Each structure stands twice: as C-alpha cells, then as structure tokens.
Amino acid sequence: MKLSEIAKVVGAEFNGDDCEIVSMNTLKDATSNELSFVANPKYVKDIPNSKAGAILVTEATKEYVPKDSIALVVEDTYWQMATLSKYFAPPLEDKDAPLPIIGKGSEISPKAEIANGAVIGKNTTIMAGAYVGSGCVIGDNTILYPNVVVYRDCIVGNESIIHAGTVIGSDGFGFASNRVGEHKKIYHIGNVVIEDDVEIGSNTSIDRAVFGTTLIAKGARLDNLIQVAHNCVFGKGSVAAAQSGFAGSTIIGQNNVFGAQSGAAGHLEIAPFNTFAARTGITKSVKESGKTFAGFPFMDHKTWLKIQGKLARLIK
C-alpha cells in the first residue's frame, strides 16, 4: 500500500516522497518498508532508534521520529493502527497458492481439510474434522486429533500432539476503543509457532500474535481448556494444568509449573523454574527462580499457608 494512500485513510498530512509499505510491525522490529505506531508513553524511548519507514505519532511525540522515517501525525494512534490492520491482514485462504504438500507416510482423513499452500511432514496423522490453513507447516510424526484448527501461517513442530477441539492461531482479544465507547477490531497479522515435542490438550486456544509470533517452546505441556493470548512466550519444558490463562505478551521462562486455574496478567516476565499453585494470580513479573507461589495476589507459598491457617482459626 502506498504511504500516500495510508495517510489518506488515517487523515494525516503527507508531503514527502511516496513509497510502498508492505506490512506493520513494532517499533523495534519494523524495517524501512513497514509502518509502526506509538500508543503507550513507555515506548516513546524506542522511537529514535526505530527503522520503520513511517510511524503513526501524535503532535506530542512527532519530534522523536528519526530523520529516515516519516511521521504520520494523528489524534489517536491506537485507533488508526486498528484501522490500518485490516488493510494488511492476509486473505483467510490463499486460493492461488500451490496444492498442499503431504509428506511420505502421513495419514490425512478424507474428512479433514488441508488448504492450498500448507505443508505436512512425514508420518503425521490428521484426523476427521481438522483444518490446516494456507501457509501452515506441520512437522513430522505429529498428531492432530479430530476438529483441531490451525489457522493460516502457523507452524507446528515435530513429534507434537494436539488434542481434539484445540484452536491454534485465532485472533487475540485485541481492539481499540474511542472516547464514545466504540470498538475497532485489531487484525492480528502475526502467527503461532509450536516447537517440537509439545503436547496440547483438548479445547485449548492459542492466539496468534498481533505482529511477530506467539511461541510455545520445545517440550511444553498444556492441559485442556487453557488460554494463551497473543504474543505470549510459553517457555521450554513449562507445564500448565487445566483452565490456566496467560494474558497478552507474557514471557514465561523454561520449566515453570502452573496449577489448575492459575493465571498471569499481561506484559509480565516470569523467571525459569518456579511453581505456581492452583488458582495463583500472577500480578507482577517474577525475577527469582526456584520459588513456589500461591494465592491472589500471589505470594510465597509458605506465607499463604500461614495466612490460611490464621483465617481458619479466626472462624472457629
């Protein structure tokens, strides 16, 4: 999309040299042919070092835009980012892509659907009702049980198992809101990558990234009925029991253990090798390793046990 056309869509002035913008991305990851935006004051510091070809900014932040980027000044950058996300979202299916490639020894149910442009590895089983979208790659020796859905451009590694009804790569819960309470959908143009030796239970949802990748790292284990939101990283060998939930952009280190119905707020970092008891509510980043936590808001497990004991004595 021409930058001049983008400026018209968002109502920004544009007088510079026109150029082609091929996608949208974060300030840190954007390249010279991509568009970025600043919606949170804490990211203003990243503007001067951004390589983005153009950046959506307000009057208050336009002075930080580097000379090699073009500032598109708008009143509400988040709202206009949501507006533009629709223009850069890929089609639901790429019907002009080549026919899917099916590896030797793989068994695909005639009731499953493999979209054009997908690649299925060797000795993989895809059962009835499953759907694999355009641009997806499914590795070797992997099993997709009935009614598993893998949206376009997502990747599932080797030796992995995904149980019935799980959805990989649906859009995250992302939208912009304006002053009168209207909501505009943010189209998620990233993907999900599930590495090797991962097992995911039934009816679990793993949302695709807004930009970039939602990652389930090698050796992870996810139970049934779990929600992993957009742009999360679920660390190598980490385990989560049923009904756990992880809000957007949470970064989970390796070999963490989450009890049933535990959950983390968004944009947190959780150090490796910790344990969170059932129903633990993680409200801030965890910098220590080798600890056990419980409660909401979460605290050291031993402290939580003492509090429960004192409460029990109070009602006797």
Active-site residue list:
230
Please give the full DSSP string across the chain, using - where no structure is assigned: -BHHHHHHHHT----S---B--EE--TTT--TTEEEE--SGGGGGGSTT---SEEEE-TTTGGGS-TTSEEEE-S-HHHHHHHHHHHHSPPSS-TTSPPPEE-TT-EE-TTSEE-TT-EE-TT-EE-TT-EE-TT-EE-TT-EE-TT-EE-TT-EE-TT-EE-TT-EEEEPPS-EEE-TTS-EEE-----EEEE-SS-EE-TT-EEEPPSSSEEEE-TT-EE-SS-EE-TT-EE-TT-EE-TT-EE-TT-EE-TT-EE-TT-EE-SS-EE-SS-EE-TT-EE-S-B--SS-EEETTTTEEHHHHHHHHHHHHHHT-
In this structure, the number of other CB atoms found within 10 A of the CB of residue 9 comes to 14
141 with 122: CB under 8 angstroms? yes
Residues 286 and 281: their CA atoms lie apart, in Å, by 12
**β-strand partners of 216:** 194, 234
Contact 11, 74 (CB under 8 A): yes
How far, CA to CA in Å, does 190 sit from each of 109, 178, 193?
28, 24, 10
